[in-house]
Amino acid sequence: MTEGPHILIVDDEIQIRRFLRISLEANDYRVFEADSGDNALAQAVLHRPDVIILDMNLPDMSGVEVLRRLREWTTTPVVMLSVRAADLDKVSALDAGADDYLTKPFSTVELLARLRVALRHMTPQTPEPVLTFGDVQIDLARRLVTRGGEAVKLTPTEYALLRLLAQHPGRVLTHRQILSEVWGPQYVDELHYLRVYFGQLRQKLESNPALPKLIVTEPGVGYRLIAD
Amino acid sequence: MAPGVGKTSAMLQAARKEQAEGVDIVVGCVNTHGSPDTNLLLVGLEQLAGRNGRLAVDALDAMNLDAALARAPRILLVDDLAQSNAAGARHVKRYQDVLELLDAGIDIYTTVNVQHFESRADAVRQITGIEVTQRIPDSLLDLADEIELIDLTPAALRKRLAEGKVHAPEGAEVAGNTFFRIGNLMALREMALRLTAEHVDHQLQDYMEVKRIAGPWKSGERLMVAVSPSPFSEEVIRWTRRMAYNLEAPWFAASIETSTRLTAAQREMLTKNLELVRTLGGEVVTAAGEDIVAGLLRLAQQRNATQIIVGRPLHTRLRDWLHGGSLVERLIQAGGTTDIYVVSGQKEATTRAPRPPFAITQSHSTWQDYGWAFVIVTCVTALLLAADLTVPWITYQAVGLISLLAVLLIAVYLGRGPALLAASASAVSWNYLFMHPRFTFAIAALEDIILFLLYFAIALFAGTLTARLRTRERQAQHNADRTTALYTLAHETATAVNMDDVLRTAVEQIGRVFDADVAIMLTHAGKLAKNVHPSSTLTVGDRDTGVATWTFENNRPAGRHTATLPQASAQFRPLSTPGRTVGVLGVRTRQPGRLSFDQEVLLETFTSQVALVIERELLDEAAEQAVMLRESERLYTTLLNSISHELRTPIATIAGAASSMLDPNTALNSTSRTELAVEIESAAERLNRLVENLLDMSRLDAGRLQLKVEWCDISDVAGVALRRLQGEIAGRPLTVVIEPAIPLVKMDFVLMEQVLVNLLDNACSYTPADSALDITAAAEGEWVRLDISDRGPGIPAHALERIFEKFYRVPGTAAGGTGLGLSICRGLVEAHGGTLTVQPRAGGGTTFSIRLPVSSPPPPVKEATL
């Protein structure tokens, strides 16, 4: 494939679209643009992009609504753009099937990293038995976690949490997603479970638990395992 | 003047003339009596459809008021002003329609016969012997800009009658025999001429006044008419109104409440009389007192009345003598300089309102009361007889005194009539059963005769006096109740803290005093709100809402027991103050009858009191809003001054750096390009922080801040904040010491993170770039405390507390910063129920301490079942 990935940018602000187009084209993306929800849905059908950047606030419908309609027929990764103080929107977008989000203003470096994660997620991968994050290694086959070569003793719940995040490296997982996956759907509101267990995980895995580098909290949204 | 003179024709001709001059003129309703000549005049004039859709040419078909209001012509023709409306119309009388139309700014052409005016009704009855039922207030005449008299000689009118031009021919025969007698017509003609002349005279006077022409000396007269429950009062009232009009003097009616209890019929008569006063445009003043003469004179003095008008009393000289002279005589003696007019009543009038058979007792004692009195006397007598037969030392004198006691008790509890009955019965039985010779009515000794007569006199006298005292006490009690009710209302509403409280109190009080369901409707955007206030106990249906709206728009009572829309299920009164109408009060009494005059007056007082309190609350709210507006304007100005600089600096940086990058020379140098890009990035970050601060500030100020509290780990929050400020903190020695066992705390993660970011960012901005930063967190009893400490130059003592004020910046600090950050931090922490304080740090520097309450331990954590 000589041509880079196709990307659809949905935002009603022409300045945002223009700056994204310049940055993305410089990084070998083939860029399409849409300035409204309707237009976005039409373009998505027409060009079948590999990834979509979707703004939360569109003139004709909400970004979440566009996402919902996209998800009716495609699993193309979608990265949402939002403003701060719209945590609820972010969470509902993620729960509705968005792959990630970025808060405006954001840097190009951040954007490119998120897009890479999203695209990687789409390409079918042979499951690796051993995952490495910094000095932490997770051997999924043997259920063994090491840090700097030394075995770390994890409770079954801690291990389940770590494995869940590790299976989606670099991607944010919402509180609901994590609780539902690990404890079960009836526990989706027990946020304090996560606070306690992630605190313990950090104690065991982070070199400085007060300044976590591996398991990062996304305020009001969820958690993310840093991939690089 | 009289039916058949050609009023309708004259009105239509005038209308045609106006129409020819291009005036927008419409026929509202007209009564042609089928006359072809009149019908011809209607041709070419626009006519409103009647209420049932037909053209309104039939007098009985009430005018379609709403259509008229909607059409809003310049001039509307309304025939036969005195006509009553058909059932189901909004108003009972047509003249009420006209008043509403006038209020709506529509000019009216109308016709009326002279005998329909209230003040002429008596004269017409005296002359023609015909009772006029359709009456209109004289005040309508004052509203007229022009009066045109349609005059016809009696002979000519009778000729028209004979020719069948008046009414239908068969009606004319009947009518001709009674009403259309030459004598009657002459009298009516004179009356019409006189009425017109009076009015023209007034117009002339007004004209002279406007033109400042020295005219005849104006009287400073003020007339007071005494109104009683007598049927003659009606005539006296009309007479007063006529005289007041001629003198151009204000007038009012006085009614004195005495302890004498009125029968239902008298009460109704009084209410009717006082209502007439109001219809004629007079004011009613009531006072309580035992002596009518003193009461009248007191009112006259209070109100500066120069003339008192009373009716000539009809009772006998004997009764006058018993009451210490006739009312009129005493009034004249005590009246001083006040003129007293005595107007004689019509003898025939007595037949119209016969006195009820028991009026003579002047009390409301029922048959049961008399029965009880009889039973008590019998029982007491029987007991005394038994005692007399068994106990030897009880003499008949003692028996008499004990009986007397019983009579007094009866007087107190049962009233005057039963007391008189008891007095007579006990006197007779005393004589018969106890006096010697016993068991005969004969009395042996002379002293016993005197004793018996004395007993009789004392029993009668004491009984009457006691009963009167008792009645007076009840009257006083009644007055006190009224005063208390009013006081309670005034007091409770005055102490109410807000509008809801005021209305709830008002609804409760009015509901209690009048035994009624009450609703209050307030205004919304200048219109009456469709929904009643939640405190209301009366539900107002769609139809009644319409009535309430009418009341509001016309500022007049309507609904049940009024002349407007009487078919409504409740009565609606405007809550009006001198300035405006603030709402409508709906009242539905649980008793079916209408309120007595007394209660009406009280309700009226209540209504105006409630209106005043509502207006006070509205003004309070308005004042509060004005203060808030001023305050926010001041803040707005400060804000603009403060942030314009903060905004301009990064914008200037971005614009400057960008233009440099466009410059070909700089663009070639990759180092400068990178440096410029870094500048742009940091300026943008600064702008972003400023905008976020402003948004937080406005959310805090508007009280719209909604905390999304969840269980949070303090070290997690600190970690996220530190991560966000990685760039600023890089290169500083940083220690984070968080107690391992620190409990989870409920807080809004994002907002608390914002607090930490602001505090850390401040620490980075105002301390040397390589100085240390320390973060410690620990549990302190019911609180969790987090300290952020620096090793900077410290904050001067005098500025320590002020730094949390909005827009305050420590003097001498470097440029940059709005003085908003710390104020926001404190606002956010306090929204969590916590505190944010600052203190100098031992060994140099400053410590900011956040304390957050630990509400309750979080529920236990459960291992996942895998």
B732 neighbourhood in chain A, CB within 8 Å: none
A107 neighbourhood in chain B, CB within 8 Å: 681
How far apart (Å, rounded) are the C-alpha atoms in residues A210 and B621? 51
Which of A87, A92, A217, A218 to mutate to probe the B interface, most B CBs <10 Å?
A217
Number of domains in chain B: 5
- The backbone region for B86, taken as left when phi is positive above 0, alpha when psi lies in -120 to 50, beta otherwise, is beta
- Residue A175: inside a domain: yes
Please tell me whether residues B355 and B375 are part of one structural domain.
no
CA-based nearest residue to B285, from B273, B298, B299, B271: B299
How far apart (Å, rounded) are the C-alpha atoms in residues B252 and B267? 20
Q: Test B708 with A212 for CB contact under 8 angstroms.
A: no
Minimal C-alpha gap between B818 and chain A (Å) = 20
Q: Test A210 with B861 for CB contact under 8 angstroms.
A: no
Task: Report yes or no: B292 and B333 within 8 Å, Cβ to Cβ.
Answer: no
- Residue B682: inside a domain: no
Please tell me whether residues B51 and B91 are part of one structural domain.
yes
Please tell me whether residues A45 and A151 are part of one structural domain.
no
Number of domains in chain A: 2
- Residue B658: inside a domain: no
Please tell me whether residues B305 and B166 are part of one structural domain.
no
**Per-residue tokens: B365:** 């004692």
Please tell me whether residues B551 and B420 are part of one structural domain.
no
Q: Test B688 with A157 for CB contact under 8 angstroms.
A: no
Please tell me whether residues A109 and A146 are part of one structural domain.
no
Chains A–B, number of C-beta pairs less than 8 Å apart = 81
A84 neighbourhood in chain B, CB within 8 Å: 692, 750
Residue of B711, B715, B750 lying closest to A209 (CB–CB)? B715
Question: What sign has the CA pseudo-torsion B547, B550, B555, B557?
Answer: negative
Please tell me whether residues A39 and A17 are part of one structural domain.
yes
Last residue of a domain, one of B346, B361, B376: B361
B716 neighbourhood in chain A, CB within 8 Å: 195, 198-199, 217
Return the residue of A nearest to B745 by Cα.
Answer: A192
Please tell me whether residues A15 and A95 are part of one structural domain.
yes
pLDDT value at position B20? 87
Partner B contacted by A207 (CB < 8 A):
no
Please tell me whether residues A102 and A151 are part of one structural domain.
no
**Per-residue tokens: B110:** 């109308």
Please tell me whether residues A22 and A114 are part of one structural domain.
yes
What's the CATH code of the domain at B822?
3.30.565.10
> What is the DSSP-derived secondary structure letter of residue B438?
T
- Residue A216: inside a domain: yes
What's the CATH code of the domain at B275?
3.40.50.620
Q: Test B750 with A105 for CB contact under 8 angstroms.
A: no
Last residue of a domain, one of A106, A122, A138: A122
Return the residue of A nearest to B862 by Cα.
Answer: A193
Please tell me whether residues B206 and B233 are part of one structural domain.
no
Please tell me whether residues A11 and A114 are part of one structural domain.
yes
Minimal C-alpha gap between A87 and chain B (Å) = 9
The burial class, CB within 10 Å (0-12 / 13-18 / 19+), for A28 is: exposed
How far apart (Å, rounded) are the C-alpha atoms in residues B139 and B279? 9
- Beta bridge partners of residue B225, listed in sequence order: B253, B309
Minimal C-alpha gap between A221 and chain B (Å) = 10
Last residue of a domain, one of B185, B210, B235: B210
Please tell me whether residues B113 and B132 are part of one structural domain.
yes
Residue of B695, B711, B720 lying closest to A85 (CB–CB)? B695
Residue of A87, A155, A190 lying closest to B750 (CB–CB)? A87
What is the residue-level pLDDT of chain A in tens, covering all 228 positions? 457 899 999 999 899 999 999 999 999 999 999 999 999 999 999 999 999 999 998 989 999 999 999 999 999 999 999 876 667 788 889 988 999 999 888 888 889 999 998 888 777 667 778 888 888 999 988 889 999 889 999 999 999 999 999 988 888 999 999 999 999 999 988 889 999 999 999 999 998 888 898 999 998 899 999 876
Determine the structural domain holding residue B589 and report its residue range.
497-615
Last residue of a domain, one of B472, B487, B521: B472
How far apart (Å, rounded) are the C-alpha atoms in residues B284 and B275? 9
Minimal C-alpha gap between A127 and chain B (Å) = 21
pLDDT value at position A151? 92
Please tell me whether residues B204 and B230 are part of one structural domain.
no
- Residue A218: inside a domain: yes
Last residue of a domain, one of A122, A138, A156: A122
Minimal C-alpha gap between A116 and chain B (Å) = 22
Return the residue of B nearest to A186 by Cα.
Answer: B864
Which of A163, A182, A195, A196 to mutate to probe the B interface, most B CBs <10 Å?
A195
Partner B contacted by A29 (CB < 8 A):
no
Phi and psi, residue B353, nearest 5°: -135, 80
At B481-532, the pLDDT tens digits run 778 878 888 888 778 778 888 888 888 888 888 888 999 998 887 788 878 8
Determine the structural domain holding residue A187 and report its residue range.
130-225
Please tell me whether residues B21 and B84 are part of one structural domain.
yes
Which of B698, B713, B745 to mutate to probe the A interface, most A CBs <10 Å?
B713
What's the CATH code of the domain at B101?
3.40.50.300
Return the residue of B nearest to A160 by Cα.
Answer: B866
- Residue A17: inside a domain: yes
B738 neighbourhood in chain A, CB within 8 Å: 210
- Residue A1: inside a domain: no
How far apart (Å, rounded) are the C-alpha atoms in residues A169 and B569? 73
- Residue B449: inside a domain: yes
How far apart (Å, rounded) are the C-alpha atoms in residues B317 and B387? 48
B863 neighbourhood in chain A, CB within 8 Å: 155-157
Minimal C-alpha gap between B687 and chain A (Å) = 10
Please tell me whether residues B185 and B58 are part of one structural domain.
yes
Please tell me whether residues B372 and B356 are part of one structural domain.
no
pLDDT value at position B262? 72
What's the CATH code of the domain at B576?
3.30.450.40
Last residue of a domain, one of A122, A141, A164: A122
At A156-166, the pLDDT tens digits run 999 999 999 99
Please tell me whether residues A14 and A90 are part of one structural domain.
yes
Residue of B685, B712, B715 lying closest to A210 (CB–CB)? B715
Please tell me whether residues A150 and A101 are part of one structural domain.
no
Please tell me whether residues A107 and A14 are part of one structural domain.
yes
Return the residue of B nearest to A107 by Cα.
Answer: B681
Minimal C-alpha gap between A105 and chain B (Å) = 8
Please tell me whether residues A198 and A142 are part of one structural domain.
yes
Segments of chain B with pLDDT less than 50:
56, 59, 168-174, 213-219, 347-363
Q: Test B719 with A197 for CB contact under 8 angstroms.
A: no
How far apart (Å, rounded) are the C-alpha atoms in residues B318 and B113? 45
Q: Which long-range contacts does B36-45 make (Cβ < 8 Å, 24+ apart)?
A: B37/B9, B37/B165, B38/B8, B38/B9, B38/B12, B41/B9, B41/B12, B41/B13, B41/B16, B42/B12, B44/B16, B44/B19, B45/B12, B45/B15, B45/B16, B45/B19, B45/B77
pLDDT value at position B492? 80
pLDDT value at position B214? 45
B584-615 b/e (C-beta count within 10 Å ≥ 16 → b): bbbbbbeeeeebebbebbbbeebbbbbbbbbb
Residue of B711, B719, B720 lying closest to A195 (CB–CB)? B711
Task: Report yes or no: B56 and B527 within 8 Å, Cβ to Cβ.
Answer: no
What's the CATH code of the domain at A64?
3.40.50.2300
Minimal C-alpha gap between A154 and chain B (Å) = 12
At A103-143, the pLDDT tens digits run 888 888 889 999 998 888 777 667 778 888 888 999 988 88
Q: Test A197 with B712 for CB contact under 8 angstroms.
A: no
Please tell me whether residues A164 and A108 are part of one structural domain.
no
- Beta bridge partners of residue B585, listed in sequence order: B520, B573
SS3 content of chain A, % helix, strand, coil (to 5): 40, 25, 35
- Residue A47: inside a domain: yes
Residue B770 CA from chain centroid, whole number: 73
A191 neighbourhood in chain B, CB within 8 Å: 710-711
Of chain B, the end-to-end C-alpha distance in Å amounts to: 106
Q: Test B864 with A107 for CB contact under 8 angstroms.
A: no
- Residue A103: inside a domain: yes
- Our CA dihedral for B582, B584, B589, B590, rounded to 10 degrees, sits at -110
- Residue A23: inside a domain: yes
A184 neighbourhood in chain B, CB within 8 Å: 864-865
Report the run of H or E that residue B108 belongs to, with start and end.
Answer: strand B107-110
pLDDT value at position B834? 92
Q: State the amino acid at position B854 in one-letter form.
A: V
Please tell me whether residues B111 and B243 are part of one structural domain.
no
A198 neighbourhood in chain B, CB within 8 Å: 713, 716
Partner B contacted by A75 (CB < 8 A):
no
What's the CATH code of the domain at A196?
1.10.10.10
Q: Test A157 with B863 for CB contact under 8 angstroms.
A: yes
Residue B243 CA from chain centroid, whole number: 34
